[in-house]
Structure 1
């Protein structure tokens, strides 16, 4: 979830389930091969205790990443998956927990689970054990059955998130007819309803068949869920997810929804994002046990343990709710315009300014969102609320949450929320009018703050870096559009010197991730373009340095779409007539003439690209020869 104009990032995987038991400590320390064979033997035994023990051992091995590949290679999933429909409730529960945890490891694991036919027994589970089940207070297996349903639903979510084949299986089954009955809060409780909503939130998106099914079977329940009263994190999460499912059932096109529903949905998002997640984490960290001088942590017991467990669950639900909320806002603001129309019919002799500007006519922000959505987002200050989600708790709080095993998932979720919020800010910058964002000075501050995340923090979090560089790029784009429409625009960058951009240039040189590299190249190009409005000796020097740097990087670039981004950036920068003298100074035409065949060759070699990258490469390849001819004529007349 959380669309951006380029690619749709994968949602964070759901947290693993604790599956510890007394049997784990009794497992003999055998060789890995012997252990796997023992598990296979136990899973195929007739005895319930043997099967249960085998599943518990499997769950324990899954906790170590180095065991995942051997488990998959031995085909253990083919043997474990049918236990989802075992007659014994305890076996079904253990199988669901272990397989759900396995699906949680990474996307590639889900692909292998699909290859080992996990969907057949999973589908049978819903048909045989979930179609008519209702929890009975007197039943001994009530809690097991409830937990099994939740784990199976989370397993289904992970598979559908990773595999189009899983979505196809889902459509061919009756699962979408079964899941809506579990949206009854009074019968099944919050945990079950939340699990179902999380699954529907994912499987309905961009899936017309699922949209119609869920709309037909669940419209009334969803309307009831978004009107729930209360501010408990479980209620916030339920309402937020229900709002997300409603939006997804109409394909994100909220124009078709009644005005009161649209206003209600935006209000839910605003309420969810208004809760101070940093304060909640600060309070949680006060109750998290700390290690002694030797690093040993004494886990709380009795009532103290129960209080901490409830607090951990509440903060986890709050962060899940806020992540879902920013993903919904990001989708509403994704504004995917018709990039697929590529104009290639202009002759080489006809070079006009529109081509040299790459057809970049500014589109009014107000036209990108339905008026009622725009008005609600502005009046409820959604942008400010999303921006607050990009801020992490204090460093000492983060360290406490990271060091205690029970709160490590909270630590990870905080980073997930931060990354998703930055992606959402990227979309909102492209969609909302600049005045509603706080004006040029506020957008400039966002650019600076995003830059601190990129250049002053640990570079290991690739997702964070990509989303933060996207925000930097979108911020400068917004300022550029404002300056183009305002002769007296801000002069925020007029005093910028070479020393101010050296860190950025070094960051691009060292960057190994194409998406981040492309964002940074485009960003410094926009920065240079802003300086064109304030030409003097210093700014001219900066523009020339940026130009030479981008051209040098273009020669080194292996990814054709990043090369196209670099060339497109240069074309944008030098389409202004005021840059003719600078173009002559850096010998731009000659250098671009050398790059043109390189771009063409790489485009032939790298044809298997996502659609948005193909558009970029095609546009750059088409525009470059015309631009070279156009600029050559301008320079020759100097």
Structure 2
């Protein structure tokens, strides 16, 4: 949904052939005097006339790419470009191995996906997919082996890997999306959402690919708007976690297409509510009791193969052997099942985030505050006219607001944002970090959705100031006592900041706050290396400066100023200064201004902001106008402070 990179499905096994151990093969190639490098050995195998040699080369490529130190060597070579042609190799098993290897490669990073597009993987990939759609005349249907956990036949699994690869590429680069638009494949893709014919796994992969393709893509909207009945039929799915994921992704596609979103808004909200109301904790508890068995299985089940027998086997026998090697265990199926639920709930949170977003005010990019003159005097800085971030009114359309309230989305999202039990988290750390990543992604997406709702819903409709204050306290405990995951910290502090905005008019809730409490936040600023998270901390300190007693306010202002004077990130400085100026909206605090020598420090910050703005326009991107506005206000604030100090007599002088 564009809010966060989507975790991909389970990866293929790294031994698609079952012929040799890829690590041993790599060691052999490293010591082979006839090969200049492992990459050269792979290239020779890929260019062999033997299908098994090609598959071995693809297997090794997939394996070495799991180690980051090998990626640079792969990128510097032509191995990806050479392997790309094998997506349309005459041999079905070679096409299958190529699609699987590339799918594994594509999950590594956005940069790798961009590199694959540069190496023209898209041309053969789209040609391969075209064979399943237009060229097949609509006659292709998958078969499922009931004796092997409904594993797909080789041709169908190749399609599954190819769609997953396309999904990753389109999510990573607009070039892939443009190429897909020109391929005219989307209309054919919709039929693969029929899970009763093509199975849940294919339907899920295709739906997730379409979800990415339909985001902000007018070309896709023209096509998908004609398939409302097909998409809405999926919203009625019920049952296992694969059904939950498929119906949720279908809801996401509908939400992406404006004509469909307007027509089926009520069904959308009902679907998202059903997805979020499922309690994911029992499923996590169950799977973590089985996870240690997964590693035991990997160690115990070692297969000794007879090379002579394999040389004599037919292509079909070879494929069946590879299928048996790839057959997932019961524990792996359980992990995948829980992963589907976590993924569905994360997507539901992201859909809600998009639906509940309001259009931001348009800024003028050509703002040039260098033209400000001294004629713009202190009167241009109105301490009573500063923008109060919290307008205690609902900003959402009434039908969306009523749905948020009636379905209890705030409460459901808050439950999803909570940390899991420590013993469960520890088992995931030790046995399946990919599942832990999905848990963290769900928590982060839920908090970011709540952050969005806080910015667009009134204090009353969020449950009142007291309830919001309790949320703020709980988040603080989680931040200071929980794991220091950067993604979770950014989401948590963003939500803390948004909740605190609602408490600007409730200073009585903070009467018991002490300097030691405040020092935790000050430490959070000093210890934080991420500029986005630092900006959240500094913004919160600025809000607290409007609520606390004078000694604590002085401590806050001193910290904000000293931090900004040592801060390199312009956005962080901007957020901190904007919040600090709010502290003076209702009180001049002249003694603090004098004691901290604020005039000189603010002038220095103004000079630094002016200098940095000239260098940072491209880096700031859409934030540039907002930073310009803060810098303009800071310039006027400096003039205001100067005027105040001319007439101010410090406390020591008054006593004399």
Corresponding residue of 1:56: 59
Query: 2:392, 2:218 → 1: CA distance?
Result: 30
CA distance in 2, matches of 1:452, 1:297: 40
Partner of residue 515, structure 1: 532
Task: Check whether the contact 1:51–1:91 (CA below 8 A) recurs between aligned residues.
Answer: yes
Is the CA contact (8 Å cut-off) linking 2:507 and 2:547 kept in structure 1?
no
Offset at residue 509 of structure 1 (A): 1.5
- Could you tell me how far apart the structure 2 residues matched to 1:310 and 1:174 are? 35
Q: How much does 1:350 deviate?
A: 7.2
**Contact 1:335-1:431 within 8 A present in 2 as well:** yes
Task: Give the 3-state SS of the residue equivalent to 1:492 in structure 2.
Answer: helix
For the pair 1:463 / 2:487, whether they are aligned, the reply is yes
Alignment correspondent of 1:122 = 125
Q: Secondary structure at the match of 1:276?
A: coil
Helix, strand or coil for the counterpart of 1:608?
helix
Partner SS, residue 589 of structure 2: helix
Query: Is the counterpart of residue 401 in structure 1 residue 425 in structure 2?
Result: no
Alignment CA distance shift 1:141-1:572 (3 Å)? closer
Deviation, 1:272, is: 0.7
Residues 174-185 of structure 1 mapped to structure 2, 5 A cutoff? 174-185=184-195
Q: Does 1:586 align with 2:596?
A: yes
Note if 1:95 corresponds to 2:101. no
Given candidates 311, 334, 356, the residue that maps to 2:334 is 311
> Does the 8 Å CA contact 2:381/2:637 hold for their aligned counterparts?
no
My pick for the range that moved more, 172-181 or 141-150, is: 141-150
2:141 to 135, 138, 142: 135
In 1, Cα distance between equivalents of 2:84 and 2:222: 30
Runs ≥4 residues deviating over 6 A = 138-141, 294-297, 299-302, 342-347
Q: Distance in 2 between matches of 1:397 and 1:458?
A: 14
Is the CA contact 2:8–2:107 (under 8 Å) kept in the aligned structure 1?
yes
1:564 aligns with 2:587: no
State the SS of the aligned residue for 1:46. coil
Cα shift at 1:35 = 2.4
Name the residue aligned to 2:68.
65
- The unaligned stretches of length 5 or more in structure 2 are 31-35, 304-323, 649-656
CA distance in 2, matches of 1:376, 1:447: 24
Compared CA separation, residues 610 and 600, structure 1 to 2 (3 A): closer
Deviations 1:568-597 (A, max 9, x none): 122122222353444344333332122211
Q: Is the 8 A contact 1:102 1:109 kept in 2?
A: yes
**Structure-1 residue corresponding to 2:240:** 232
What TM-score results when the alignment is normalised by the length of structure 1? Answer: 0.88
Cα distance change on mapping 1:213 and 1:365 into 2, 3 Å: farther
- The Cα shift of 1:197 comes to 1.2
> Which residue, 406, 409, 429 being the options, matches 1:379?
406
Deviation at 1:513, TM superposition (A): 1.2
Give the C-alpha shift of residue 319 in structure 1. Answer: 0.7
* CA-to-aligned-CA distance 1:497-519 (integer Å, 9 cap, x gap): 22111122122112211111111
Deviates more, 1:235-244 or 1:502-511: 502-511
Aligned to 1:282: 285
CA distance in 1, matches of 2:455, 2:175: 34
Cα distance, 1:434 vs. partner?
2.0
Residues 455-492 of structure 1 show CA distances to partners (whole Å, capped at 9, x for unaligned) of 22333x21111111111111111212xx1xxxxx3512
**Equivalent residue in structure 2 for 1:223, among 209, 225, 232:** 232
Whole-angstrom CA distance in 1 between matches of 2:507 and 2:144: 70
Shift of 1:341: 4.3
Aligned residues: 606
Q: Residue 504 in 1 paired to residue 528 in 2?
A: no
Q: Distance in 2 between matches of 1:335 and 1:419?
A: 20
CA–CA distance in structure 1, aligned partners of residues 294 and 47 of structure 2: 43
SS at match of 2:86: helix
Is there any run of 5+ residues in structure 1 with no aligned partner, and where? 4-8, 484-488, 532-538
151-160 vs 445-454, greater mean Cα deviation: 445-454
**Following the alignment from structure 2 to structure 1, what is the Cα–Cα distance between the partners of residues 351 and 622?**
22
Q: Structure 1 pair 433/60, CA: closer, same or farther in 2 (3 Å)? A: same
Summarize the Cα distance change of 1:130–1:354 in structure 2 as closer, same or farther, 3 Å threshold: farther
Secondary structure at 1:577 match in 2: coil
Q: CA offsets per residue over residues 170-221 of structure 1, 9 Å max, x none?
A: 22222223311212222112111111111121221122222223223x3221
Match of 1:535 in 2: none
Q: Is the 8 A contact 1:135 1:142 kept in 2?
A: no
1:590-618, Cα deviation, whole Å (9 max, x unpaired): 32122211111111122213433202221
Q: Which moved more, 1:496-505 or 1:576-585?
A: 576-585
Which of structures 1 and 2 has the bigger CA Rg? Answer: 2
Contact 1:273 1:322 in 2 (8 A): yes
CA contact (8 A) 1:272 1:325 kept: yes
Residues 289, 298 of structure 1: 8 Å contact kept: no
Instruction: Tell me how far apart the structure 2 counterparts of residues 624 and 610 of structure 1 sit (CA, whole Å).
Output: 18
Other structure's SS at 2:529 match = coil
2:315 aligns to what? Answer: none
